[in-house]
Structure formats: structure tokens, C-alpha cells
Amino acid sequence: MKGLFTIAAVLLLLSCSKKKNKVVLHLTGAFNRPFVLKRVSVGETSSKQIDSAVPRSVRDSFVYYLPVSEPAIYRIHFQYKPIEISFIADSSDIDIYYNYTTGEYHFVNSPASEEWRLFQQHQAALAGEERKLWTLSKDSAATQVDSLIRESYNRNFHFADTVTNPALFLLAYNVIDYGSDYRGLQAFIGNAARRFPHHKGVQELVSNTLDYVRIFNSPLKLGDTLPRLSMLDINGRNIEIGPSSGKYTLIDFWSTWCDDCRPFLEAKRAAWKRWGAGPFAIISVAIDAERDAWVSVTRHERNLWPQIIDEKMWAGPVARTLRFDSIPFNFLIDPNGRIVAKGIAADSLDKTLSSFLK
């Protein structure tokens, strides 16, 4: 486990750590609970593991010396806990206190990290109020829920638009959703470029986002030929995301975290059962950063058509080549690769296929 030091050992190495930020992780109740520390990339499309460790007592501490560079995002993830602790190494001497039993944590001497924690805490409280109100069957409850949703939505934008730490902005950007309002997104990201002109991470995000806007402002249309793209499937075979010989092909985009994608599973199975032995094929493509979760779900479902994942999600080749910006989504292409239908609803799939597969 590289980079892992006990408190005692680190005291002997201080002379070698003058140009790094010291971060001490104080754990309570995490005995024998493995965790990893990662540095997260721009847009959270990838991460670099810094260390992994297993606490050997009920109260344990780990010390890390992180590079002094432009503000960056780090994340601590425990193997058996859904919670992830995101922080920013924004000072030379940071303490992180985490209680594994209660899930509570806080930061000392890391203003940006603590600001992010408190913001998330407030948003979680709003979400909790929403869930309570949904249990009431009154019109007034629905009005209150709408008000809370708007408040949470507006707070996301206000927070991202007012933070002063560029790495904190990168964290906040992940909760911003402009949907298909590309003009609004372009204005927002342009403002970020002016606020943080010297931060490489923010400038990279700006460049990627403007590229994203250009791509998704010109979606593929009915009658267009689907661009050719090859990816490896779950078994390591090279699969062309495009026309199958002599067949109509449904190319379906989904994710393990997408609740709205679930209704399409039964629709696809019904279509496969009815048409799969004939001039029809399906290719399912997951837009998902969690490969392990995707493998688990896919193996459990045991569908017979090709299964592919693009772990880079919206920054990956699938979304950028095929130019769609949300899931669930799909294309139906004819044997020549022309798009004959797209964005087919789950309850319309059979009717749509029947009009082509006669």
C-alpha cells in the first residue's frame, strides 16, 4: 500500500514533505473496513488511486502528503459503504474526522471541503423533506414538494456560480443540469472560464463543455446514416454499433442508475422473443461509470443480445459520436444503417417494430 504511513512513521519523514499538503484522516469505528483514496479527474470521467488501506483498530489515523499544485478534488471511498468523502487539499495541514458507524464527518482547516460538506448537508435535508411530503395525499403537499424541488435546483446553480475555489466549482458543476438548454449552459460555462482563467482543470472543463454543446446542438435525424463505431462487449468481443447484415437493429442506451430505463427491459425482451429469430437485432449500450455494477446487473439479466458499456459516459465516444444527450434513448436503423426511428417509448416499441418488420 504505497504512500501509507502511520502517525509515528510520518513524524520521521517531515523533512521530506515540505512541499506537500499534509492530510490526516482520523477514523472511528472503521476497524477492518478497507478504503481507497483517489484523485478525481476533470468531469469525474476517471480517477487515479493514491492509496488503499485497512484500519487495524477502532480508532486509527492515516497521514498523506498530497502535491501542492492547483486545487484538486480527492475522494475517500469505503468498500462496504455507499458514502464517499470528497475533499479539496486547499491548505497545508488538513484534518478529516470520520465516524464509520454514524456516517458523519467534518473537516478542519479545509474551508472549501467544509463548504461543500455543509452545502450537501443542506441539500440532503431538503430531499428528506420532499420524501416526507410525498407520503401525504394532499394537493398542498404536492405544491410544497414543487417548491422544495425549485429551491434545491436554484441552490445548485447559486452555489456553483458563487464559489471562489476552482476545485470546489468542479465539484459543484456535477450537480448542475441544464438539460437541453445549451445556450444557458454555454453562458454558464463561459462565466466560469472568466472566473477561473488560470486553473487548468476548469479551463479543460470549459473546452470539453463547449465541444459537448457543439456536438449535441446537431443531433442525428431520421434518414441520417448512423456513424460507424466499434466497442468491446461484456465478453471482450469487438462489436460494431451499427447495422447487422440484412437486419433492422435497435440500439438501446441505458444505465444501471437510470430508473426510467427499467421499463425498456421488458419491452426489449418482448421484442427479442417476437422478432429475434428473424430480421431483427438489439445492441444495448450502458452509459455508466460503474463497470462492476454494470457487469453484475448484466450477468444477472442474462439477455442474449450484445452488451456494451462506455465508462466515460457523456465524455465518451458513444454519446459524442451518436449525438444524444440523455437516457433512456434509442435508435432503430434499417439494414443499410439509416435511422428510421429514434427515442422510441417503451410502450411504443412493439408497434414501431411491427411497422418495419412485416
Phi then psi for 354, rounded to 5 degrees? -60, -30
What is the rounded CA–CA span in Å between residue 133 and residue 140? 9
Radius of gyration of the chain (CA): 24
Strands 93-99 and 84-88: unpaired
Structure confidence at residue 10 (pLDDT):
39
144: left (phi over 0), alpha (psi -120 to 50) or beta: alpha
Given a contact cutoff of 8 angstroms between Cβ atoms, the answer to whether 189 and 205 are in contact is yes
Residues contacting 347, CB < 8 A, separation 6+ = 263, 267
What is the rounded CA–CA span in Å between residue 181 and residue 304? 37
Note the pTM of the prediction, 2 decimals.
Answer: 0.68
What is the rounded CA–CA span in Å between residue 193 and residue 178? 17
Structure confidence at residue 281 (pLDDT):
93
Q: What is the pLDDT of residues 255-275, one digit of tens each?
A: 988 888 888 899 999 999 998
As to burial, measured by CB atoms within 10 angstroms (0-12 exposed, 13-18 middle, 19+ buried), residue 47 is: middle
Structure confidence at residue 7 (pLDDT):
37
Cis ω for the linkage preceding 328 (within 30 of 0): yes
Structure confidence at residue 218 (pLDDT):
86
Domain 7-109: which CATH number of 3.50.50.60, 1.10.3210.10, 2.60.40.180, 2.40.50.140: 2.60.40.180
Domain boundaries, the chain: 7-109, 116-216, 230-356
End-to-end CA distance of the chain: 61
Given a contact cutoff of 8 angstroms between Cβ atoms, the answer to whether 199 and 71 are in contact is yes
**Percent of residues, the chain, with pLDDT higher than 70:** 92
Distance set, CA 103 to CA 84, 129, 213 (Å) = 10, 20, 38
Instruction: Report residues of the chain scoring pLDDT below 50.
Output: 1-17
CATH topology for 230-356?
Glutaredoxin (3.40.30)
Q: In 3D, which of 145, 211, 201 has the Cα closest to residue 174?
A: 201
> How many other C-beta atoms lie within 10 A of the C-beta of residue 264?
25
